[in-house]
Amino acid sequence: MTSQAQRMQDILLRGEMLQAPGAPDVLTARLVEHAGFNAIYMTGFGATASTLGVPDIGLMTQTEMLTQARNMVRVTNIPIIADADAGYGGISNIERTVVEYANSGVAAIHLEDQVAPKRCGQMAGIRLLSVGESVKRLKCAVQVRGNHPLQIIGRTDALGVDGIDAAINRAKAYQDAGVDLAFVDGVKTIAQVEQIAARLDGRKVISVVEGNETTVLSVEQLRAMGFSVVLYAVTTLFAAAKTSLDVLQQLKQSGSTQADAQKMMGYTDFVKIVGIDKHQKLDETFGGD
């Protein structure tokens, strides 16, 4: 059986783009696959919100994130690109992070260059490791990965701290360290996307975040710019939160869900998403008399 990591490698080798909506939980991962996308992004921002109900400020542990990764892999067949934060500690933690994520079955991880406690790349107050230390950590990750097909993505959060030049220079240094893809996070404008596309060669990742002008860029445009992976980290999270809140407020006000029935999935469709057919067949074949 071909692994998720090998599937991702094959997609990249064919020159195709991975379009990966974020999944804050396992159910959403199923929905992303059901909708026909070729990859899933296991977002730390979403995982933190769905698991702890708090902002993405480095509160999720390695164990919690790995549990999320394993559960997503169990119920999906398309490549999962997982947020591995800053590696959860020192060099030995980097080693363990790579081994554990590889064993989880995800296709790729990204490691960022923030000082702990890390925070979402769209937030202010980010503090960075030195370029030299970041390079050493990524070289460690690449060496530990060895011949395993797990893709290592070097992410920099320097854009909002030191500007576009520093961010691109860091991304290039991470490429030189041997990562498979480079990722400048915190992008908010089309001009920034264009600069990264023009000045950063090789395979690269872009994250499109609702609320920024980059949402007008189509997949075709991003592919033409040379990006290999596009992440939609918070799209499903924000959509679910908005719809759920609207329905709840309407229910509170009117005392009925009738007016919002069109916004909700029906019971029959929902249980198909979560795999009821498989379990019904098992029961029919092996269940009691």
pLDDT over 60 (residue 121) = no
Average pLDDT value for residue range 255-263: 88
pLDDT of residue 126: 82
**Residues 25-41: b if buried by 16+ CB within 10 A, e if exposed:** bbbbbbbbbeeebbbbb
Q: Residue 42 and residue 69: Cα distance in Å, rounded? A: 7
- Dist. CA 248–CA 246, nearest whole Å: 6
Residue 202 in contact with residue 175, Cβ under 8 Å? yes
pLDDT at 259 over 90: no
pTM: 0.93
Q: Is the dihedral of CA 220, 222, 227, 229 positive or negative?
A: negative
Q: Which two tokens stand for residue 262?
A: 């069109």
Maximum average pLDDT range among 196-200, 247-251, 259-263, 279-283? 196-200
Tell me: pLDDT of 15 over 90.
yes
| Spatial distance between the Cα atoms of 12 and 16, rounded to a whole number of angstroms | 6
Q: What is the mean pLDDT of residues 111-120?
A: 81
What digits encode the pLDDT tens for the residues 65-102? Answer: 999 999 999 999 999 999 999 999 999 999 999 999 99
Look at residue 124 in the predicted model and tell me its pLDDT: 62
Whole-number Å distance between alpha carbons of 149 and 73: 15
Q: Is the pLDDT of residue 107 over 60?
A: yes
Is residue 137 within 8 A of residue 116, CB to CB? The reply is no
Reported confidence tier of residue 122, pLDDT bands at 50, 70, 90:
low
SS3 state of residue 18: strand
Name residue 83's beta-bridge partners: 110
Residues in the chain: 289
Note the maximum CA span of the chain.
70
pLDDT grade for 58, boundaries at 50, 70 and 90: confident
Closest CA to 13 of 149, 196, 111, 207: 149
Task: Report percent pLDDT > 90 for the chain.
Answer: 84
Q: What is the pLDDT of residue 289?
A: 66
Find the mean pLDDT for residues 217-226.
97
Rounded to an integer, the average pLDDT of 182-202 is 97
CA nearest neighbour of 28 among 11, 48, 46: 46
Name the more confident of 190 and 282.
190
DSSP 159-200: HHHH-HHHHHHHHHHHHHTT-SEEEE----SHHHHHHHHHH-
pLDDT of 153:
98
Local confidence band at 287 (pLDDT 50, 70, 90 cut-offs): confident
Residues 6 or more apart in contact with residue 154 via CB below 8 angstroms: 110, 111, 113, 134, 138, 171, 174, 175, 177, 179, 181, 182, 183
pLDDT at 211: 93
State the average pLDDT for the chain: 94
- Kindly report, as residue ranges, where domains of CATH 3.20.20.60 are found in the chain: 4-234
pLDDT reported for residue 117: 67
CATH class name, domain 4-234: alpha beta
- Residue 1 pLDDT > 70: no
Q: Is the pLDDT of residue 59 over 80?
A: yes
Say what the pLDDT of residue 69 is: 96
Instruction: Report DSSP letters for 101-140, one per residue.
Output: HHHHT-SEEEEE-BPSSP--TTSS---B--HHHHHHHHHH
* Cα(90)–Cα(136) distance, integer angstroms: 11
Report d(CA 139, CA 111) in Å as an integer. Answer: 11
**Helices marked H in the chain — which ranges?**
4-13, 26-34, 44-52, 62-75, 91-104, 131-145, 159-162, 164-176, 190-199, 219-225, 235-254, 267-273, 276-286
pLDDT at residue 255, rounded to an integer: 93
* % of the chain beyond a pLDDT of 70: 97
* Per-residue model confidence as pLDDT tens digits over 26-36: 999 999 999 99
Cα angle vertex 131, ends 196, 65, to 5°?
80
Which one has a higher pLDDT value, 211 or 2?
211
What is residue 2's predicted lDDT score, i.e. its pLDDT? 78
